[in-house]
Amino acid sequence: IEIADIFRASIVDVAADSLTIEITGDEDKLDSLLNLLRSFGIKEVARTGSIAMLRGSPSQLRVEEKPLKTRKARYNLL
């Protein structure tokens, strides 16, 4: 969490076995953060514009199918 603070990244979700970190910035900033986090183990990285991601561990999630126009999502950058 302290590493995320150094990069002005946000912890947007905490599960028993993972954290979701949101960061914006140039490629060098993102690469530097990823290099520091590798020793902790990285489950997934998404380097793109705004995206929708599920929160929590997959075993804890219940996904309900709804029409696309009524779905709500949190947009995170990793």
Go through the domains of the chain in sequence order and give each one's CATH number.
2-70 (3.30.70.1150)
pLDDT at 72: 43
* Residue 58: pLDDT over 80: no
d(CA 38, CA 12): 19
Share of the chain above pLDDT 90, in %: 15
Listed residue (54, 40, 43) closest to 4, CA to CA: 40
pLDDT at 70: 43
pLDDT at 6: 92
Q: What is the pTM of this model?
A: 0.57
Supply the mean pLDDT for the chain. 76
Confidence label for 77 from pLDDT (cuts 50, 70 and 90): very low
Contacts of 74 (CB under 8 A, 6+ apart): 12, 52, 53, 55
